[in-house]
Amino acid sequence: MLLYGDFPLLVPEYPQIIDFHLGLPRPVGLRRWFQPQVRFDADSERPFAPFPLDHAFPHFEWGLNWCIATRANRYLMLHSAVVEKNGRVAILPGRPGSGKSTLCAALMMDGWRLLSDEFGLIRPEDGTMLALPRPIPLKNTAIPAFRAFAPDAVLGPVFPRTRKGDVSHVRPTRESLLRVDEPGRPAWIVFPKYSASNDNRLYPMARGRAFLRVSGNSFNYEVQGAAGFRAVGRLIRGCESFQLHYNHLEPAVEIMNRLAGDDLREDERLVSEADI
């Protein structure tokens, strides 16, 4: 309830389409009493080996990701966080460890609308992005860093020593949930790169390079074939692309706010010769 308390529930009597039927049953046998486990069932599939009962919530969240990543091929799926401000969407693609979830959570607490911390779902018919706000998982040192940035944020319990280290989830803002049915129009693609040096800066990226980075970041670009190429092409044509180097959340959020406010410096907009 702490993390999903604000989510709307479906009314069983109303006509509706259910995409997934999920279960978290406990296997029978000795495991029920000795080092108890739980299993993730999705429709008729059991995609993962059972896992410790006290890690049920993070595994449930990863299971939801698996459902979307394996089934939502109607959309071009980017592995990215997606946030919106002033009616314009910033896509933050990134590999694990790039800091995209932490930055996404920080932007959300600074007033950006959360569309997703994990999936950039692009509709092929019009290029808009679906909202899929869910609790944002933070890992290891990102947990205290985010707490220091947003002391008022609601975080769930810390799950120690999961397969991804210590994990805690941030509750989505109410505004993000109220606007879940509103798609967003992409305006910026920002590749976050956590940097150990004190380099907090936005670097513009040439469109050809951005195309390759975005297509390589997609879960299903190759599955989509020509439709994927067209979708990425339209996305790149309609967006400015950047790489964001950061090592602290405050300056990173400040840079993103300047981007949303059309207040970038000249050197943050110029693509260098070396970048083309």
Residue 26 as a binder of other proteins (CB under 8 A): the answer is no
Shortest distance, CB of residue 11 to other proteins, whole angstroms?
44
Residue 215 as a binder of other proteins (CB under 8 A): the answer is yes
Residue 276 as a binder of other proteins (CB under 8 A): the answer is yes
Contacts of other proteins in 168-207 (CB under 8 A) = 206-207
Contacts of other proteins in 111-140 (CB under 8 A) = none
d(CA 204, CA 275): 8
Among 229, 248, 258, 268, binds other proteins (CB under 8 A): 229
Q: Which is nearer to other proteins, 123 or 230 (CB)?
A: 230
| Residue 274: other Cβ atoms inside 10 A | 6
Q: Which is nearer to other proteins, 78 or 170 (CB)?
A: 78
Residue 274 as a binder of other proteins (CB under 8 A): the answer is no
Residue 212 as a binder of other proteins (CB under 8 A): the answer is yes
> Which class for 267: exposed (0-12), middle (13-18), buried (19 or more C-beta within 10 A)?
exposed
* Interface region with other proteins, contact rule CB under 8 A, candidates 35-43, 64-72, 219-227, 252-260: 219-227
Residue 13 as a binder of other proteins (CB under 8 A): the answer is no
The answer to whether 59 and 38 are in contact (CB under 8 A) is yes
AA letter at 163:
R
Residue 225 as a binder of other proteins (CB under 8 A): the answer is yes
* Interface region with other proteins, contact rule CB under 8 A, candidates 27-35, 68-76, 111-119, 233-241: 233-241
Binding site for other proteins (CB under 8 A): 206-208, 211-212, 215, 222, 225-226, 229-230, 233, 236-237, 276
